[in-house]
């Protein structure tokens, strides 16, 4: 697993000016799964305690008049999602068989998340651009948690398909 985006990452064009970049990749049996299905599988693997942390985050953000993102596990089972539609805490930006790009853009930061198949390896990549001092402050606790939870979720959902 690596913290750098793969050379063929769909988020490569988003790197200039990024304040946080993280990627992890693991060999995974694709078994005909699309990038959308891999995202749904990953969201389903989110532990309850982590969704509890999201609930605390949402309470704090509401007090600051910021966006309540909801639950990481709450990804709608829409048959044919379209760009601009919410899928869990993110908005769908682009979707293909091999890659899905999701985003959340708020006053304090813009987060882009991609799940992408590279043959029989699945990559989760995240690029964050902060908009202000609050965004930079927000990322102080979020960055280390993200560096731990993203590889954990990837490993957990990959184990489920071996």
Domains of the chain: 12-159 (3.30.530)
Closest CA to 114 of 123, 101, 105, 127: 101
pLDDT over 70 at 146, yes or no = yes
pLDDT over 50 at 1, yes or no = no
Interval 51-76 mean pLDDT: 65
Q: Which residues of 152-161 are buried (b: 16+ CB within 10 A; e: fewer)?
A: ebbeebbeee
User: Which tens digits make up the pLDDT trace of 107-130?
Assistant: 889 999 999 999 889 999 999 999
Interval 93-112 mean pLDDT: 94
pLDDT over 80 at 40, yes or no = yes
**In whole angstroms, what is the distance from residue 28 CA to residue 134 CA?**
37
Q: Which residue has the higher pLDDT, 88 or 136?
A: 136
- pTM greater than 0.75 (yes/no): yes
**In whole angstroms, what is the distance from residue 21 CA to residue 50 CA?**
21
Interval 83-91 mean pLDDT: 87
Structure tokens, 3: 């913290």
Mean pLDDT over all residues of the chain? 84
Q: How confident is the model at residue 99 (pLDDT cuts 50, 70, 90)?
A: very high
Closest CA to 58 of 6, 17, 104: 104
**Least confident residue range of 44-48, 73-77, 95-99:** 73-77
């Amino acid at each position: 697993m690596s913290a750098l985006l793969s050379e063929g990452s769909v988020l490569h064009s988003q790197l200039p000016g990024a304040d946080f970049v993280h990627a992890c990749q693991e060999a995974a049996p694709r078994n005909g799964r699309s990038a959308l299905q891999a995202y749904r599988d990953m969201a389903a693997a989110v532990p309850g305690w982590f969704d509890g942390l999201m609930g605390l985050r949402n309470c704090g953000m509401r007090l600051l008049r910021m966006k309540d993102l909801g639950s990481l596990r709450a990804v709608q089972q829409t048959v044919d999602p379209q760009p601009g539609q919410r899928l869990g805490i993110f908005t769908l930006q682009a979707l293909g068989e091999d890659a899905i790009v999701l985003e959340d853009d708020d006053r304090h930061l813009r987060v882009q998340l991609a799940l992408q198949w590279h043959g029989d390896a699945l990559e989760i990549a995240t690029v964050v651009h902060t908009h202000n001092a609050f965004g930079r402050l927000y990322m102080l606790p979020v960055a280390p948690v993200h560096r731990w939870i993203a590889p954990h979720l990837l490993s957990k959902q990959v184990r489920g398909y071996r």
